[in-house]
Amino acid sequence: MTREFSTVGVIGLGTMGAGIVEVFARNGIDVVAVEIGDAPLERGKGVLAKSTGRALAREKMTQDEHDTLHSRITYATDLAALADCQLVVEAVPESLELKKDLFAQLDQIVSPDAVLATNTSSLPVTQIAVATANPKRVVGMHFFNPAPVLQFVEVIKTVITADDVFEDIKALAERLGKRPVVVGDKAGFIANALLFGYLQPRRQHVRDQVRHPRGHRQRDAVRLWAPWVRSPCSTSPDWTRPTRSSTRCTARAVTGCTHRVRSSSRWSAQVCSDARADAGSYSYAAPGSPEVVGDH
Ligand SMILES: NC(=O)c1ccc[n+]([C@@H]2O[C@H](COP(=O)([O-])OP(=O)(O)OC[C@H]3O[C@@H](n4cnc5c(N)ncnc54)[C@H](O)[C@@H]3O)[C@@H](O)[C@H]2O)c1
């Protein structure tokens, strides 16, 4: 039986969750977006409104499409609102305990044939799956940031994931206009395993070369090396504390080396505070602004 997925749930309306909600709603799917409280819910709505507002302003969607997209989304702060969803995608911070706890709760809420997906970057999907009564219905659906733009989605099949669940999620990703890549449940899957393998020696190199971590040579080097990178070790234009800890967690999982990760995360912390001060690889006009201004 091929599942239709006409109503899906997304838990967590942060950097990834807001983007994932937009992807589903843009593609004609009703979405129930759940946050942990009113304040983060309002923040998530703001992220979503900003993204769709930008698409509207750039004439990438009409006013009608914009309004229809938003009419497909309902918001809640209670997991019980997910009861009628055929799929729930979790996008909460990168904590195994938090994700396991959520999945165990979902068992009591959604129907037995609903699919449960995690957007984890690095945690073992199998360990999240076994927190549920039916691990066969758990799969990884790893979107990349920004989710509405990037076509790449890793679909992670554990040794327990049922074949039909996995095939249906892959088909859904294609329906969303994505290009799913099938991945086993290995640390970092494919993209982060490659990325962190690539970044680690370069971080070390930059640390060794640059006397002052905010020095102009560091900026020049990063701009030449990776002009798209907002700050030297970011893969995301929007560095926040939770994202930083997600990245540390991913780095630890992928490299398996706590010592190096600890030392490089001190450096990340400096870089992240640069990014928060809008002074990463580039200087920006204001927090969150895409406008690059001269160095100060
Ligand atoms: N940021 C990225 O570039 C990126 C890319 C791919 C995957 N991921 C993965 O996606 C997941 C989310 O990352 P993010 O960067 O969006 O994090 P984030 O911190 O931006 O967002 C997480 C959201 O989850 C909410 N939340 C926390 N506990 C909750 C609960 N119990 N119920 C409902 N909502 C809850 C928070 O309020 C927050 O808004 C992580 O597993 C991360 O590893 C992140």
What tens digit of pLDDT does each residue of 47-68 get?
999 999 999 999 999 999 999 9
| Strand segments (E) across 52-118 | 73-76, 87-90, 115-118
pLDDT at 249 over 60: no
What the block records as the tokens of 14 is 């942060």
Burial group, residue 279, by CB count within 10 angstroms (0-12, 13-18, 19+): middle
Q: How confident is the model at residue 4 (pLDDT cuts 50, 70, 90)?
A: confident
What is the predicted pLDDT for the residue at 248?
A: 56
Beta bridge partners of 293: 283
Atom of ligand 1 nearest to the CA of 119: 10
Q: Which of 51, 119, 121, 236 is catalytic?
A: 121
Q: Lowest mean pLDDT of 16-20, 184-188, 241-245, 249-253, name the range.
A: 241-245
Whether residue 36 has its Cβ less than 6 Å from ligand 1: yes
Whether residue 246 has its Cβ less than 6 Å from ligand 1: yes
Whether residue 47 has its Cβ less than 6 Å from ligand 1: no
What the block records as the tokens of 176 is 């969303």
Whether residue 16 has its Cβ less than 6 Å from ligand 1: yes
Whether residue 254 has its Cβ less than 6 Å from ligand 1: no
| The residue count for the chain | 296
Whether residue 86 has its Cβ less than 6 Å from ligand 1: no
Active site residue 268: no
pLDDT at 203 over 50: yes
Burial group, residue 83, by CB count within 10 angstroms (0-12, 13-18, 19+): middle
Distance 35 CA to ligand 1 centre (A): 10
Distance 246 CA to ligand 1 centre (A): 8
Rounded to whole angstroms, the Cα distance separating 212 from 193 reads: 29
Rounded to whole angstroms, the Cα distance separating 10 from 126 reads: 20
Active site residue 174: no
The model's pTM? 0.76
Q: How confident is the model at residue 9 (pLDDT cuts 50, 70, 90)?
A: very high
Q: How confident is the model at residue 207 (pLDDT cuts 50, 70, 90)?
A: low
Greater model confidence, 295 or 110: 110
Candidate from 246, 248, 254 with most ligand 1 atoms within 8 A of CB, to mutate: 246
Mean pLDDT, range 224-241, rounded to an integer: 46
Whether residue 247 has its Cβ less than 6 Å from ligand 1: no
Distance 130 CA to ligand 1 centre (A): 21
Whether residue 12 has its Cβ less than 6 Å from ligand 1: yes
Active site residue 42: no
What is the predicted pLDDT for the residue at 184?
A: 85
Rounded to whole angstroms, the Cα distance separating 163 from 159 reads: 10
- The model's pLDDT over 87-108, given as tens digits with 9 standing for 90+, comes to 999 999 999 999 999 999 999 9
Atom of ligand 1 nearest to the CA of 98: 31
Atom of ligand 1 nearest to the CA of 14: 21
Q: How confident is the model at residue 118 (pLDDT cuts 50, 70, 90)?
A: very high
Active site residue 27: no
Q: What are phi and psi of 26, to 5 degrees?
A: -65, -25
How many Cα atoms occupy the beta-carbon half-sphere of 90 within 13 Å?
29
pLDDT at 229 over 80: no
Q: Which helix (H) or strand (E) holds 296?
A: none
